[in-house]
A and B are shown apart, each in its own frame.
Chain A
Amino acid sequence: MRSILTFIVLGAVGVLVVAGCGGGGSSSSGSSGGGGGDFASGAEAACTKANKAIVALGTPQQEQVTQYLEATEAVIETLHKEVAALDASGSAETAYVEGLATAIPELTKMSNAARNENFDAVRELSAALVEIKLGELAEAAKLKSCAEVPVSES
């Protein structure tokens, strides 16, 4: 089971790395084109890929939480890089990008706590992620895919 999760995690991160390269290409065209429309389409595409990668991680068992959080951290980092490379034109778009940036160190803390098997701390630290209200920020920036919560079937 652990090896399967590791495989999925590596696969998800691999997809993101490839996706990240592709995202970089589209962001350069977005930058050259400028305008909120390019940001929206680029961000929506990046969020769709990120959501798919997170869904692919499934629901971890207790002993898989560290790997799960590390993989999620990698997904959000890639998402942030892709979206930050786009041309955010309004305050709502900027706030969304900042929300992603705020989430990364919080995910790092959660991964560290999971590594130490301090699961209460993982839970308590997640309150900081809740506070970001990333879904609301995405809605304000009219980013439908980014506002969606990825739901795993497993």
Chain B
Amino acid sequence: MRRLRVLLLASGAITLLASVGVAWATTGATTGYPQPKVAVPATIQAPFEDRYVLTAVGSGAGIRSGEMKFEFEEGSSPQFLVGISQFYTYGPTGEIETSLFTFYPPKELAGGKGLGFTVLKVGASAQYGQLTEDGELRLFTPEGDKVKGELRLHGGGPWPVEFKVLDDDERYAGSPPPAKQIHESEPSKTGWGGEPSEYEGEYELTNGAEDPTAKAGTLGAAIGVAQGLGVKGAVVSSGSMKVEGNPPVATVDLETGGTDRTFTLTDLAWQADLRVAQVHNEGPDSPPVGRFEGTGGQGLVKGDLVSGHSVYKVEFQLK
């Protein structure tokens, strides 16, 4: 009987996984999940039936970004929700890996706070279709298009998570934006130092490397694009930074492999020698695409500037 249940779960997960990034339909993609032993009123589950993008996650979870959806199992009576997520996680050596999870069965959280689900990991290297329990996802009652919650995985956590409900026509096609990493000791002081005069002004890049495209002829452009990719640190050949304004904003110009890139850093914050900021690709009002995290003091700022899948290792010195 237990074997049959595992088979049913696996069958349902495979069907559901096939729909990720392809259909994202609001109904009809989940099949094969057995009726849960404990029923949760459909009215409590209904507010969670949606598609989501991960917007913030505790940094200890090692999750870069992710998408998730919940839908009612097709033909279930009483109805019950099943969830599926595709998380992009940082591997042990920094590379990005894809992790697939399903969320089943639903249970009501105490005090009517929301819904909890067992996290089922979909094995890639184990038996085909194998599902193993790997933690718990707790989602609190949605507030507008935001849903906060807690995630436990691999015996760790709980880590805070925040999701945003996606509009019907919103698609990330398997490339969701990086979620804000919530740090346990997030710097809380505005700016990059005690006084604006300590950090405002023009900076020059001090760790520029030789331009790899310089002798590449027609291949130079492709090399330039490629050198700007990857999480291990793109080659930066030159750059500058200007910090100004109240609240302070940093404009960073970098040349990577013959390609000029401009980033805007907002929400500058500091604590002791820690320096952090949100990274934007198209001005301070555009959606954040990553985070700057490093150290600084006495006119020096150095660290990793993350933009999407790219990491730029930079060192700036105030002129």
Contacts and interface: CB of A to CB of B under 8 A. Distances in A.
Interface of A: 47, 50-51, 54-55, 57, 59-60, 62-63, 65, 68-69, 72, 75-76, 79, 103, 107, 110, 117-120, 122-126, 129-130, 132-138, 146-152
A119 B310 contact: yes
A102 to B, nearest CB: 10
B313 to A, nearest CB: 13
A65 B221 CA distance: 12
Given A130-B216, A150-B218, A119 B225 contact: no
B7 to A, nearest CB: 30
Contacts of A110: 222, 226
23 contacts: A50-B218, A51-B218, A54-B218, A59-B259, A63-B175, A68-B222, A69-B225, A117-B175, A119-B230, A120-B230, A120-B232, A122-B230, A123-B226, A126-B212, A126-B222, A129-B216, A130-B212, A132-B216, A135-B220, A146-B218, A149-B217, A149-B218, A149-B220
Rank and list the top 10 A-B pairs by shortest CB-CB distance, nearest first.
A149-B220, A135-B217, A126-B226, A120-B230, A123-B230, A119-B229, A134-B217, A135-B215, A62-B308, A72-B222
A107 B220 CA distance: 12
Interface string B221-262: 111111111111010000000000000000000000011000
Interface of B: 95-96, 173-175, 212-232, 234, 258-259, 308-310
A129 to B, nearest CB: 5
Nearest to B231: A120
Contacts of B228: 123
Contacts of A65: 225, 229
Nearest to A133: B215
Contacts of A135: 214-220
A152 B219 contact: no
Given A120-B232, A123-B232, A150-B218, 9 more contacts: A47-B218, A72-B221, A79-B218, A107-B222, A132-B219, A134-B216, A134-B217, A149-B220, A149-B224
Contacts of A150: 218, 220-221
Given A130-B216, A135-B216, A149 B222 contact: no
A146 B217 contact: yes
Contacts of A151: 221, 258
A112 to B, nearest CB: 13
A76 B217 contact: no
B253 to A, nearest CB: 14
Contacts of B309: 62, 117, 119
Contacts of A124: 230
A55 B220 CA distance: 11
B218 A76 contact: yes
B262 to A, nearest CB: 11
A129 B219 contact: yes
Contacts of B308: 62
A86 B279 CA distance: 49
Contacts of B225: 59-60, 65, 68-69
B219 A134 contact: yes
Contacts of B220: 135, 149-150
A62 B175 contact: yes
A149 B175 contact: no
B214 A149 contact: yes
B229 A120 contact: yes
Nearest to B233: A123
A122 B223 CA distance: 9
Contacts of A126: 212, 222-223, 226-227
A117 to B, nearest CB: 7
B224 to A, nearest CB: 8
B95 to A, nearest CB: 6
Contacts of A79: 218
A75 B221 CA distance: 12
Nearest to A59: B259
A116 B226 CA distance: 14
Contacts of A138: 217-218
A2 to B, nearest CB: 9
Contacts of A60: 225
A117 B229 CA distance: 10
Given A63-B175, A72-B222, A110-B222, A137 B217 contact: yes
